[in-house]
Structure formats: structure tokens, C-alpha cells
């Protein structure tokens, strides 16, 4: 993470010095948000089973296909001539939308495949390098499985990941805590000091 922060800082500095127009950088930024980040956001909000593997694959493929369409601002030549391309007018096909669709489809496909492969033990759990399918860290909390008054419980059919053992409360545990609080408040002097 630290290395990537320095790398992005250096790239931003070089781009700021080399590019003449702020408007063209802003336009490029909006393209990249549309092609790379918009599909990520849609999948995170609306598709619960997507994972880091799909996200990374979508990021790489979307960025690759977008930049292969050429970017005059950064001096990147046109590597892929999309349909209706001509040397006078350039890219006439809406290739940025195609790149966005490639991103979202690759997120869905790669996430689905990795989820299936890990959950059905076609690959061992130790191969889950990003710890997002079956090899989740002990500190993870299953927030969507809740019972009375927000206490998290372990679902009986949980098969992907571990639940924090500190969150396995029974009703007896909660009653004991409540009784301890009441006992401590009874031990306080009546004047509140």
C-alpha cells in the first residue's frame, strides 16, 4: 500500500508536469471513473457475492481496454481499432461504454468462478490469497446475521469463512452482563458519588 501511494504520487506529479491542459486531465479522470470505478460501485452495492478477485480482474481489463483505445492526453497511441475507426475521425464506436461493460462482466464472471472454485473445494482454502471467499480472517464479523437487539450470531449453515468467537452470545450471557451492571449500580452510594 505504501509503495503504491508513492507510485501514484510520482505518476500524478509527472502527469501534472507533462500535460498542458487541466481540462483534458479532468476529462480523462471522468472516463476512468466511468470505465473502472462505476462498475465496482454497482457490484459492491447491488451484487453481494462479488469479491476481490473479480474486482481486480475488472479493474485491470477495463483499464487495459480503455487505454488501448488510445489517449492523446497521455500520448498513448491507438492500439485497438474498435469498429467504425478511421484515421481522420478516430474512434467512432462508443468504446468507453464497451470498456465499462467489459469491466462489469469480468467482475461478475471472475467473482462467480472464484466463489464456486473455493466453496466447492476445487482449490484449497490456503490458495485464497486475498482472504475474501473461504479463508477469511478471524476478525471478520458477520453483520447480516443478527438476532435480538443487534447481537450477532453464527448461522448454522455457515460454510465460507470464520465468525469471530467473541460474537457468539447466548441469552444467558446477556442476562449475566445485565445482572452484573445492576449489581454494580446497586453498590454505588445513594448520593451518586
- Point out the domain boundary residue: 83, 109, 130: 130
6 and 63, same domain (yes or no): yes
- The residue range of the domain holding 30 is 2-130
pLDDT of residue 69: 93
47, 108 in Cβ contact below 8 A? yes
25 and 90, same domain (yes or no): yes
122 and 158, same domain (yes or no): no
Total structural domains within the chain: 2
If you search the block for the grid coordinates 505518476, which residue do you land on? 11
- Domain assignment present for residue 20? The answer is yes
pLDDT of residue 136: 61
pLDDT of residue 154: 46
Distances (CA, A) of 130 to 53, 96, 102: 8, 29, 22
95 and 142, same domain (yes or no): no
Q: Mapping DSSP to helix (H, G, I), strand (E, B) and coil, where does residue 35 land?
A: helix
64 and 97, same domain (yes or no): yes
pTM of the model: 0.65
- Point out the domain boundary residue: 130, 149, 164: 130
82 and 105, same domain (yes or no): yes
141 burial type by CB count under 10 A (0-12 exposed, 13-18 middle, 19+ buried):
exposed
62 and 13, same domain (yes or no): yes
69, 80 in Cβ contact below 8 A? yes
pLDDT of residue 134: 75
Instruction: Name residues whose C-beta falls within 8 Å of residue 74's C-beta, 6 or more positions apart in sequence.
Output: 15, 19, 28, 67
80, 87 in Cβ contact below 8 A? no
106 and 178, same domain (yes or no): no
Kindly list the averaged pLDDT for each block of 10 residues, start to end, along the chain of length 193.
Answer: 89 84 86 94 93 95 94 88 88 93 97 93 86 66 47 49 55 73 74 56
Amino acid at each position: 500500500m505504501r509503495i503504491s501511494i508513492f507510485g501514484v504520487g510520482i505518476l500524478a506529479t509527472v502527469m501534472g508536469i507533462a500535460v498542458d491542459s487541466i481540462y483534458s486531465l479532468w476529462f480523462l479522470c471522468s472516463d476512468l471513473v466511468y470505465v473502472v470505478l462505476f462498475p465496482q460501485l454497482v457490484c459492491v452495492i447491488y451484487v453481494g457475492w462479488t469479491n476481490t478477485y473479480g474486482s481486480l480482474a475488472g479493474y485491470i481489463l477495463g483499464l487495459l481496454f480503455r487505454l488501448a483505445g488510445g489517449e492523446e492526453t497521455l500520448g498513448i497511441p491507438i492500439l485497438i481499432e474498435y469498429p467504425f475507426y478511421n484515421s481522420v475521425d478516430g474512434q467512432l464506436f462508443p468504446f468507453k461504454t464497451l470498456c465499462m461493460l467489459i469491466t462489469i462482466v469480468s467482475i461478475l464472471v471472475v467473482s462467480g468462478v472464484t466463489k464456486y472454485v473455493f466453496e466447492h473445494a476445487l482449490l484449497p482454502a490456503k490458495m485464497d490469497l486475498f482472504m475474501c471467499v473461504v479463508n477469511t480472517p478471524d476478525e471478520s464479523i458477520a453483520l447480516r446475521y443478527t438476532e435480538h437487539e443487534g447481537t450477532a450470531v453464527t448461522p448454522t449453515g455457515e460454510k465460507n469463512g470464520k465468525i469471530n468467537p467473541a460474537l457468539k452470545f447466548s441469552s444467558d450471557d446477556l442476562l449475566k452482563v445485565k445482572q452484573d451492571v445492576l449489581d454494580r449500580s446497586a453498590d454505588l452510594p445513594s448520593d451518586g458519588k
